[in-house]
Amino acid sequence: MKYLWRSRRELAEFRDAELRRLLVHAYENVPYYRTLFDRHRLHPRHVRGTIDLDLIPISSKQDLRGVPAEKVIAVGHDPARLLTARTSGATGQPFVIRRTWLEDKRNHLLRLRALASIGMRLGDRRVAVGLARPTDPNDLKRIARPLRRLGVSAIPRLDGLEEPEVIAARLRSRRPDVLTGMPGILCRVADYLISSGAQPVHPRLVVVSGEVLTSGMQRRLEQGFQAPVYQAYASHEFPLLGWQCTRTGELHCCDDGVIVEVLRDGRPAAPGEQGEVVVTNLTAFAMPFIRYRLGDLATAGLQQCACGGPFSSIRQVQGRSMDTFVLPDGRALHPYHLIETFTGRNDSWIRQYQLVQERQDRIVLRVIPNGNGASDHIARVERSVLSVLGAGVEFRVQLLDHIPLEHNGKFRLARSLVEPGSGASVPSHHG
Protein backbone atom coordinates (compact mmCIF):
# COMPACT_ATOMS: atom_id res chain seq x y z
CA MET A 1 0.00 0.00 0.00
CA LYS A 2 1.53 3.34 -1.07
CA TYR A 3 0.52 6.23 1.17
CA LEU A 4 -0.49 9.60 -0.20
CA TRP A 5 2.09 11.20 2.09
CA ARG A 6 5.77 10.58 1.40
CA SER A 7 6.90 11.88 4.78
CA ARG A 8 5.67 12.68 8.25
CA ARG A 9 6.66 16.31 7.69
CA GLU A 10 4.40 16.64 4.65
CA LEU A 11 1.50 15.16 6.56
CA ALA A 12 2.11 17.44 9.56
CA GLU A 13 2.18 20.56 7.34
CA PHE A 14 -1.09 19.54 5.68
CA ARG A 15 -2.70 18.88 9.07
CA ASP A 16 -1.66 22.27 10.45
CA ALA A 17 -3.04 24.05 7.38
CA GLU A 18 -6.33 22.15 7.62
CA LEU A 19 -6.62 22.95 11.33
CA ARG A 20 -6.14 26.67 10.68
CA ARG A 21 -8.72 26.56 7.88
CA LEU A 22 -11.21 24.74 10.12
CA LEU A 23 -10.80 27.20 12.98
CA VAL A 24 -11.36 30.24 10.74
CA HIS A 25 -14.44 28.56 9.26
CA ALA A 26 -15.88 27.63 12.65
CA TYR A 27 -15.27 31.07 14.13
CA GLU A 28 -16.87 32.88 11.20
CA ASN A 29 -19.77 30.49 10.50
CA VAL A 30 -20.68 28.40 13.57
CA PRO A 31 -22.27 30.38 16.45
CA TYR A 32 -21.34 27.78 19.10
CA TYR A 33 -17.64 28.09 18.35
CA ARG A 34 -17.74 31.87 17.93
CA THR A 35 -19.20 32.16 21.42
CA LEU A 36 -16.84 29.55 22.88
CA PHE A 37 -13.70 31.13 21.39
CA ASP A 38 -14.74 34.64 22.42
CA ARG A 39 -15.40 33.44 25.97
CA HIS A 40 -11.83 32.14 26.10
CA ARG A 41 -10.43 35.20 24.30
CA LEU A 42 -9.22 33.01 21.47
CA HIS A 43 -9.00 33.99 17.82
CA PRO A 44 -8.04 31.56 15.03
CA ARG A 45 -4.98 33.68 14.25
CA HIS A 46 -3.56 32.66 17.64
CA VAL A 47 -3.29 29.02 16.52
CA ARG A 48 -0.31 28.18 14.29
CA GLY A 49 -1.09 24.46 14.18
CA THR A 50 -1.14 21.39 16.41
CA ILE A 51 1.61 22.95 18.54
CA ASP A 52 -1.07 25.36 19.87
CA LEU A 53 -3.87 22.85 20.43
CA ASP A 54 -3.85 23.52 24.17
CA LEU A 55 -5.12 27.06 23.48
CA ILE A 56 -8.40 25.65 22.15
CA PRO A 57 -11.06 24.83 24.76
CA ILE A 58 -12.34 21.24 24.90
CA SER A 59 -16.01 20.47 24.18
CA SER A 60 -18.02 17.35 25.03
CA LYS A 61 -21.20 15.69 23.86
CA GLN A 62 -22.95 17.18 26.89
CA ASP A 63 -21.91 20.67 25.76
CA LEU A 64 -23.29 20.16 22.26
CA ARG A 65 -26.35 18.01 22.94
CA GLY A 66 -28.63 20.75 24.22
CA VAL A 67 -27.54 23.40 21.68
CA PRO A 68 -30.06 24.17 18.89
CA ALA A 69 -29.03 22.83 15.49
CA GLU A 70 -28.65 26.32 14.02
CA LYS A 71 -25.97 27.09 16.63
CA VAL A 72 -23.74 24.08 15.87
CA ILE A 73 -24.24 23.90 12.09
CA ALA A 74 -22.39 26.27 9.79
CA VAL A 75 -24.24 29.16 8.25
CA GLY A 76 -25.52 28.27 4.77
CA HIS A 77 -26.36 24.65 5.56
CA ASP A 78 -29.97 23.53 5.93
CA PRO A 79 -30.04 20.83 8.68
CA ALA A 80 -32.93 19.11 6.89
CA ARG A 81 -30.75 18.51 3.81
CA LEU A 82 -27.71 17.07 5.60
CA LEU A 83 -26.95 13.41 6.18
CA THR A 84 -27.54 12.39 9.77
CA ALA A 85 -26.22 9.81 12.20
CA ARG A 86 -28.08 9.38 15.45
CA THR A 87 -26.70 7.98 18.66
CA SER A 88 -28.11 7.63 22.16
CA GLY A 89 -25.73 5.09 23.66
CA ALA A 90 -25.96 4.34 27.36
CA THR A 91 -27.52 7.65 28.32
CA GLY A 92 -30.65 7.20 26.21
CA GLN A 93 -30.44 10.87 25.23
CA PRO A 94 -30.45 11.43 21.48
CA PHE A 95 -27.56 13.17 19.76
CA VAL A 96 -27.59 13.90 16.05
CA ILE A 97 -24.43 14.24 13.96
CA ARG A 98 -24.84 15.96 10.62
CA ARG A 99 -22.53 16.08 7.60
CA THR A 100 -22.71 16.86 3.89
CA TRP A 101 -22.78 14.18 1.24
CA LEU A 102 -19.24 15.09 0.13
CA GLU A 103 -17.95 14.93 3.72
CA ASP A 104 -19.52 11.50 4.09
CA LYS A 105 -17.92 10.22 0.88
CA ARG A 106 -14.51 11.61 1.84
CA ASN A 107 -14.78 9.66 5.07
CA HIS A 108 -15.66 6.59 3.02
CA LEU A 109 -12.51 6.99 0.92
CA LEU A 110 -10.40 7.23 4.09
CA ARG A 111 -11.98 3.96 5.29
CA LEU A 112 -11.23 2.33 1.94
CA ARG A 113 -7.58 3.37 2.26
CA ALA A 114 -7.43 1.86 5.74
CA LEU A 115 -8.93 -1.43 4.53
CA ALA A 116 -6.50 -1.53 1.61
CA SER A 117 -3.64 -1.02 4.07
CA ILE A 118 -4.90 -3.97 6.10
CA GLY A 119 -5.16 -6.21 3.05
CA MET A 120 -8.36 -5.56 1.11
CA ARG A 121 -7.94 -5.94 -2.64
CA LEU A 122 -9.66 -4.32 -5.59
CA GLY A 123 -12.73 -6.38 -6.40
CA ASP A 124 -13.03 -8.04 -2.99
CA ARG A 125 -16.53 -8.92 -1.86
CA ARG A 126 -17.27 -7.09 1.39
CA VAL A 127 -20.10 -7.75 3.83
CA ALA A 128 -20.86 -5.88 7.06
CA VAL A 129 -22.72 -7.40 9.99
CA GLY A 130 -24.36 -4.81 12.23
CA LEU A 131 -27.59 -3.03 12.95
CA ALA A 132 -30.05 -2.55 10.10
CA ARG A 133 -30.29 1.16 9.32
CA PRO A 134 -32.71 2.88 6.95
CA THR A 135 -31.19 4.64 3.97
CA ASP A 136 -30.78 8.37 4.56
CA PRO A 137 -33.16 10.14 2.15
CA ASN A 138 -30.57 12.90 1.66
CA ASP A 139 -28.01 10.50 0.19
CA LEU A 140 -27.61 11.39 -3.46
CA LYS A 141 -28.25 8.12 -5.27
CA ARG A 142 -27.81 9.64 -8.72
CA ILE A 143 -24.22 10.47 -7.86
CA ALA A 144 -23.62 7.34 -5.79
CA ARG A 145 -24.37 4.94 -8.65
CA PRO A 146 -21.54 6.12 -10.96
CA LEU A 147 -19.12 5.93 -8.02
CA ARG A 148 -19.77 2.24 -7.42
CA ARG A 149 -17.06 1.38 -9.92
CA LEU A 150 -14.61 3.14 -7.61
CA GLY A 151 -15.91 1.29 -4.57
CA VAL A 152 -17.59 4.40 -3.16
CA SER A 153 -20.92 2.78 -2.39
CA ALA A 154 -22.74 1.01 0.37
CA ILE A 155 -21.79 -2.60 1.01
CA PRO A 156 -24.27 -5.35 1.92
CA ARG A 157 -25.22 -5.16 5.59
CA LEU A 158 -26.65 -8.14 7.46
CA ASP A 159 -28.77 -7.66 10.57
CA GLY A 160 -26.49 -8.57 13.48
CA LEU A 161 -29.41 -9.10 15.85
CA GLU A 162 -30.67 -12.12 13.95
CA GLU A 163 -29.86 -15.60 15.21
CA PRO A 164 -26.22 -16.62 14.64
CA GLU A 165 -27.16 -19.56 12.43
CA VAL A 166 -29.18 -17.24 10.17
CA ILE A 167 -26.28 -14.80 9.87
CA ALA A 168 -23.87 -17.66 9.18
CA ALA A 169 -26.10 -18.99 6.39
CA ARG A 170 -26.35 -15.58 4.77
CA LEU A 171 -22.59 -15.11 4.98
CA ARG A 172 -22.05 -18.47 3.30
CA SER A 173 -24.34 -17.44 0.44
CA ARG A 174 -22.50 -14.13 -0.03
CA ARG A 175 -18.97 -15.59 0.40
CA PRO A 176 -17.30 -12.37 1.59
CA ASP A 177 -13.58 -11.83 1.14
CA VAL A 178 -13.65 -9.09 3.77
CA LEU A 179 -16.03 -9.29 6.73
CA THR A 180 -16.61 -6.23 8.93
CA GLY A 181 -18.69 -5.66 12.07
CA MET A 182 -18.70 -5.17 15.81
CA PRO A 183 -16.72 -7.84 17.68
CA GLY A 184 -19.57 -8.68 20.08
CA ILE A 185 -21.96 -9.49 17.24
CA LEU A 186 -19.39 -11.38 15.18
CA CYS A 187 -18.32 -13.41 18.24
CA ARG A 188 -21.87 -14.81 18.47
CA VAL A 189 -21.51 -16.09 14.91
CA ALA A 190 -17.99 -17.38 15.55
CA ASP A 191 -19.17 -19.27 18.66
CA TYR A 192 -21.96 -20.86 16.63
CA LEU A 193 -19.52 -21.95 13.92
CA ILE A 194 -17.13 -23.41 16.52
CA SER A 195 -19.74 -25.26 18.58
CA SER A 196 -22.09 -26.49 15.85
CA GLY A 197 -19.61 -27.89 13.38
CA ALA A 198 -21.66 -26.17 10.68
CA GLN A 199 -20.30 -25.46 7.23
CA PRO A 200 -17.59 -22.83 7.75
CA VAL A 201 -17.47 -19.20 6.62
CA HIS A 202 -14.02 -18.36 5.27
CA PRO A 203 -13.39 -14.64 4.66
CA ARG A 204 -9.79 -13.74 3.87
CA LEU A 205 -9.78 -11.15 6.68
CA VAL A 206 -12.06 -9.82 9.40
CA VAL A 207 -12.07 -6.15 10.44
CA VAL A 208 -13.90 -5.13 13.62
CA SER A 209 -14.73 -1.74 15.12
CA GLY A 210 -17.26 0.01 17.33
CA GLU A 211 -16.21 -1.49 20.67
CA VAL A 212 -13.19 -2.87 22.49
CA LEU A 213 -11.67 -6.01 21.01
CA THR A 214 -10.35 -8.18 23.84
CA SER A 215 -7.71 -10.87 23.38
CA GLY A 216 -10.35 -13.50 24.11
CA MET A 217 -12.69 -12.08 21.48
CA GLN A 218 -9.88 -12.03 18.95
CA ARG A 219 -9.07 -15.69 19.56
CA ARG A 220 -12.73 -16.69 19.15
CA LEU A 221 -13.08 -14.71 15.92
CA GLU A 222 -9.88 -16.14 14.44
CA GLN A 223 -10.93 -19.68 15.38
CA GLY A 224 -14.52 -19.30 14.19
CA PHE A 225 -13.78 -17.60 10.86
CA GLN A 226 -10.30 -19.09 10.37
CA ALA A 227 -9.00 -15.71 9.23
CA PRO A 228 -6.78 -12.94 10.64
CA VAL A 229 -8.66 -10.30 12.65
CA TYR A 230 -7.76 -6.60 12.59
CA GLN A 231 -9.19 -3.65 14.46
CA ALA A 232 -10.38 -0.24 13.28
CA TYR A 233 -11.20 2.66 15.60
CA ALA A 234 -14.24 4.78 14.77
CA SER A 235 -17.26 6.55 16.23
CA HIS A 236 -20.39 8.29 14.96
CA GLU A 237 -18.68 11.67 15.23
CA PHE A 238 -15.44 10.43 13.66
CA PRO A 239 -16.06 7.71 11.04
CA LEU A 240 -12.37 6.75 11.10
CA LEU A 241 -9.94 7.49 13.92
CA GLY A 242 -7.44 4.74 13.24
CA TRP A 243 -6.74 1.27 11.90
CA GLN A 244 -4.43 -1.53 12.93
CA CYS A 245 -0.92 -1.65 11.54
CA THR A 246 -0.27 -5.15 10.19
CA ARG A 247 3.41 -4.90 11.18
CA THR A 248 3.37 -3.44 14.70
CA GLY A 249 -0.19 -4.26 15.83
CA GLU A 250 -0.69 -0.66 16.98
CA LEU A 251 -3.38 1.60 15.51
CA HIS A 252 -2.39 4.12 12.84
CA CYS A 253 -4.15 7.41 13.54
CA CYS A 254 -5.96 8.85 10.51
CA ASP A 255 -3.85 12.00 10.77
CA ASP A 256 -5.06 13.58 7.52
CA GLY A 257 -8.70 13.22 8.60
CA VAL A 258 -8.56 13.79 12.36
CA ILE A 259 -6.24 15.08 15.07
CA VAL A 260 -6.21 12.49 17.85
CA GLU A 261 -4.90 13.60 21.25
CA VAL A 262 -4.36 11.29 24.21
CA LEU A 263 -4.31 13.56 27.26
CA ARG A 264 -3.16 12.72 30.76
CA ASP A 265 -3.92 15.37 33.38
CA GLY A 266 -4.43 17.86 30.54
CA ARG A 267 -1.04 17.27 28.87
CA PRO A 268 -0.17 15.01 25.92
CA ALA A 269 0.42 11.49 27.21
CA ALA A 270 3.88 10.02 26.62
CA PRO A 271 4.17 6.76 24.65
CA GLY A 272 2.88 3.97 26.88
CA GLU A 273 0.83 6.30 29.11
CA GLN A 274 -2.94 6.05 29.33
CA GLY A 275 -5.15 9.09 28.90
CA GLU A 276 -8.48 10.39 27.62
CA VAL A 277 -9.08 10.73 23.90
CA VAL A 278 -9.79 14.21 22.50
CA VAL A 279 -10.34 14.54 18.75
CA THR A 280 -10.65 17.25 16.09
CA ASN A 281 -12.37 16.30 12.83
CA LEU A 282 -10.54 17.89 9.89
CA THR A 283 -13.20 16.74 7.40
CA ALA A 284 -16.27 18.13 9.22
CA PHE A 285 -17.18 21.70 8.24
CA ALA A 286 -20.98 21.48 8.20
CA MET A 287 -21.00 20.46 11.88
CA PRO A 288 -17.48 20.87 13.27
CA PHE A 289 -16.05 18.81 16.12
CA ILE A 290 -13.05 20.69 17.49
CA ARG A 291 -11.14 19.28 20.47
CA TYR A 292 -14.08 17.04 21.28
CA ARG A 293 -13.88 14.80 24.34
CA LEU A 294 -14.81 11.42 22.92
CA GLY A 295 -15.15 9.64 26.28
CA ASP A 296 -12.58 6.91 25.53
CA LEU A 297 -9.39 5.97 27.32
CA ALA A 298 -6.40 4.93 25.23
CA THR A 299 -2.68 4.25 25.54
CA ALA A 300 -0.55 6.69 23.57
CA GLY A 301 1.80 5.42 20.89
CA LEU A 302 4.62 6.99 18.91
CA GLN A 303 4.45 10.25 16.94
CA GLN A 304 5.33 8.13 13.92
CA CYS A 305 4.54 4.43 13.78
CA ALA A 306 7.56 2.13 13.94
CA CYS A 307 6.50 0.54 10.63
CA GLY A 308 7.88 3.59 8.81
CA GLY A 309 4.52 4.92 7.61
CA PRO A 310 3.81 8.64 8.10
CA PHE A 311 1.03 8.19 10.68
CA SER A 312 1.16 8.52 14.46
CA SER A 313 -0.10 5.61 16.52
CA ILE A 314 -2.19 4.54 19.47
CA ARG A 315 -1.03 1.40 21.25
CA GLN A 316 -4.39 0.34 22.61
CA VAL A 317 -7.93 1.61 23.12
CA GLN A 318 -9.16 0.61 26.58
CA GLY A 319 -12.74 1.72 26.14
CA ARG A 320 -15.29 4.20 27.26
CA SER A 321 -14.57 6.26 30.33
CA MET A 322 -18.30 6.21 31.18
CA ASP A 323 -17.77 2.66 32.44
CA THR A 324 -15.63 3.89 35.33
CA PHE A 325 -16.44 2.16 38.62
CA VAL A 326 -16.84 4.60 41.52
CA LEU A 327 -15.83 2.78 44.72
CA PRO A 328 -16.91 3.43 48.33
CA ASP A 329 -13.59 5.12 49.17
CA GLY A 330 -14.13 7.68 46.38
CA ARG A 331 -11.76 6.14 43.82
CA ALA A 332 -12.88 6.20 40.17
CA LEU A 333 -11.46 2.96 38.80
CA HIS A 334 -11.48 2.14 35.11
CA PRO A 335 -12.43 -1.53 34.56
CA TYR A 336 -9.30 -2.00 32.45
CA HIS A 337 -7.27 -2.11 35.67
CA LEU A 338 -9.33 -5.10 36.79
CA ILE A 339 -9.40 -6.76 33.39
CA GLU A 340 -5.63 -6.81 33.06
CA THR A 341 -5.38 -8.88 36.26
CA PHE A 342 -7.20 -11.90 34.82
CA THR A 343 -6.57 -11.69 31.06
CA GLY A 344 -3.49 -12.71 29.13
CA ARG A 345 -1.77 -16.05 29.11
CA ASN A 346 -4.09 -17.61 31.70
CA ASP A 347 -7.49 -16.61 30.31
CA SER A 348 -8.04 -19.45 27.82
CA TRP A 349 -10.71 -20.90 30.15
CA ILE A 350 -12.85 -17.78 29.48
CA ARG A 351 -14.95 -17.73 26.34
CA GLN A 352 -16.60 -14.40 27.15
CA TYR A 353 -16.78 -12.11 30.16
CA GLN A 354 -18.45 -8.96 31.41
CA LEU A 355 -17.72 -6.88 34.51
CA VAL A 356 -20.78 -5.45 36.28
CA GLN A 357 -20.76 -3.07 39.21
CA GLU A 358 -24.06 -3.87 40.90
CA ARG A 359 -23.46 -1.57 43.88
CA GLN A 360 -20.59 0.66 44.92
CA ASP A 361 -19.34 -2.15 47.13
CA ARG A 362 -20.13 -5.12 44.87
CA ILE A 363 -18.66 -6.10 41.49
CA VAL A 364 -19.46 -9.29 39.59
CA LEU A 365 -17.47 -10.88 36.79
CA ARG A 366 -19.87 -12.73 34.50
CA VAL A 367 -18.08 -15.52 32.63
CA ILE A 368 -19.10 -17.93 29.91
CA PRO A 369 -16.46 -20.64 30.43
CA ASN A 370 -14.74 -22.75 27.80
CA GLY A 371 -15.72 -26.27 28.77
CA ASN A 372 -15.12 -27.67 32.25
CA GLY A 373 -12.53 -26.77 34.83
CA ALA A 374 -13.56 -23.16 35.41
CA SER A 375 -13.67 -23.72 39.17
CA ASP A 376 -9.89 -24.22 39.16
CA HIS A 377 -9.42 -20.61 38.03
CA ILE A 378 -12.10 -18.76 40.01
CA ALA A 379 -10.17 -18.46 43.26
CA ARG A 380 -7.09 -17.10 41.44
CA VAL A 381 -9.19 -14.49 39.61
CA GLU A 382 -10.93 -13.40 42.80
CA ARG A 383 -7.61 -12.99 44.63
CA SER A 384 -6.05 -10.94 41.83
CA VAL A 385 -9.07 -8.63 41.42
CA LEU A 386 -9.57 -8.11 45.16
CA SER A 387 -5.92 -7.05 45.45
CA VAL A 388 -6.79 -4.09 43.19
CA LEU A 389 -10.19 -3.31 44.72
CA GLY A 390 -8.99 -3.41 48.31
CA ALA A 391 -11.10 -3.73 51.44
CA GLY A 392 -14.76 -2.83 51.48
CA VAL A 393 -15.66 -4.13 48.00
CA GLU A 394 -17.19 -7.55 47.40
CA PHE A 395 -16.16 -9.40 44.24
CA ARG A 396 -17.25 -12.73 42.84
CA VAL A 397 -17.22 -14.70 39.59
CA GLN A 398 -20.58 -15.80 38.16
CA LEU A 399 -20.64 -18.59 35.54
CA LEU A 400 -23.30 -18.21 32.82
CA ASP A 401 -24.14 -19.77 29.48
CA HIS A 402 -25.24 -16.48 27.85
CA ILE A 403 -24.47 -12.76 28.20
CA PRO A 404 -26.87 -10.58 26.19
CA LEU A 405 -25.87 -7.79 23.82
CA GLU A 406 -27.02 -4.23 24.40
CA HIS A 407 -30.07 -2.86 22.56
CA ASN A 408 -27.73 -1.21 20.04
CA GLY A 409 -26.07 -4.50 19.16
CA LYS A 410 -22.88 -3.80 21.07
CA PHE A 411 -21.36 -5.95 23.76
CA ARG A 412 -20.66 -3.98 26.92
CA LEU A 413 -17.41 -5.25 28.38
CA ALA A 414 -18.09 -3.40 31.61
CA ARG A 415 -21.26 -1.92 33.08
CA SER A 416 -21.87 0.16 36.16
CA LEU A 417 -25.36 0.16 37.63
CA VAL A 418 -24.36 2.81 40.17
CA GLU A 419 -26.04 6.17 39.68
CA PRO A 420 -23.56 8.97 38.80
CA GLY A 421 -23.02 11.37 41.68
CA SER A 422 -23.15 8.69 44.39
CA GLY A 423 -19.39 8.92 44.91
CA ALA A 424 -16.42 10.35 43.07
CA SER A 425 -17.17 12.20 39.88
CA VAL A 426 -17.49 10.00 36.82
CA PRO A 427 -15.87 11.10 33.52
CA SER A 428 -18.07 12.15 30.65
CA HIS A 429 -20.46 9.62 29.18
CA HIS A 430 -20.02 8.56 25.58
CA GLY A 431 -22.89 6.93 23.75
Q: Are 291 and 307 part of one and the same domain?
A: yes
Rounded CA separation 354/238 (Å) = 26
pLDDT tens-digit map of 376-392: 789 889 999 999 998 89
Total-model pTM: 0.77
Confidence of residue 94 (pLDDT cuts 50, 70, 90): low
Catalogue the long-range contacts made by 225-229 (C-beta closer than 8 Å, 24 or more residues apart).
Answer: 225/179, 225/186, 225/190, 225/193, 225/200, 225/201, 226/200, 226/202, 227/179, 227/202, 227/203, 228/119, 229/205
Q: Pick the range with the lowest mean pLDDT from 9-18, 57-66, 305-314.
A: 57-66
Q: Are 200 and 114 part of one and the same domain?
A: yes
Residue 144's domain comprises 105-232
Q: Does 431 fall in a domain?
A: no
Rounded CA separation 275/301 (Å) = 11
Of 281, 185, 293, the closest CA to residue 238 belongs to: 281
Q: Are 206 and 133 part of one and the same domain?
A: yes
Q: Pick the range with the lowest mean pLDDT from 29-38, 211-220, 394-403.
A: 211-220
Considering only CA atoms, give the Rg of the chain.
22
Rounded CA separation 63/24 (Å) = 21
Q: Are 218 and 260 part of one and the same domain?
A: no
DSSP assignment of 174-204 equals H--SEEEE-HHHHHHHHHHHHHH-PPP---S
Of 286, 363, 288, 291, the closest CA to residue 327 belongs to: 363
So what's the pLDDT on residue 217? 85
pLDDT tens-digit map of 252-301: 999 999 999 999 999 999 999 999 999 999 999 999 999 999 988 899 99
Select the highest-mean-pLDDT range: 1-10, 191-200, 249-258: 249-258
The residue out of 232, 260, 290 marking a domain boundary is: 232
Q: Are 334 and 296 part of one and the same domain?
A: no
Q: Are 330 and 316 part of one and the same domain?
A: no
pLDDT > 50? residue 90: no
Tally of CA atoms within 13 A in the half-sphere of 360 that contains its CB = 15
Q: Does 364 fall in a domain?
A: yes
At 129, which CATH number? 3.40.50.12780
Q: Are 225 and 246 part of one and the same domain?
A: no
Contact 414, 72 (CB under 8 A): no
Instruction: Choose between 158 and 89: higher pLDDT.
Output: 158
Residues near 92 by Cβ (< 8 Å), separated by ≥ 6? none
- How many domains does the chain contain in total? 3
The residue out of 213, 232, 251 marking a domain boundary is: 232
Q: Are 256 and 348 part of one and the same domain?
A: no
CA–CA distance from 44 to each of 20, 35, 38, 41, 47 (Å)?
7, 13, 10, 10, 6
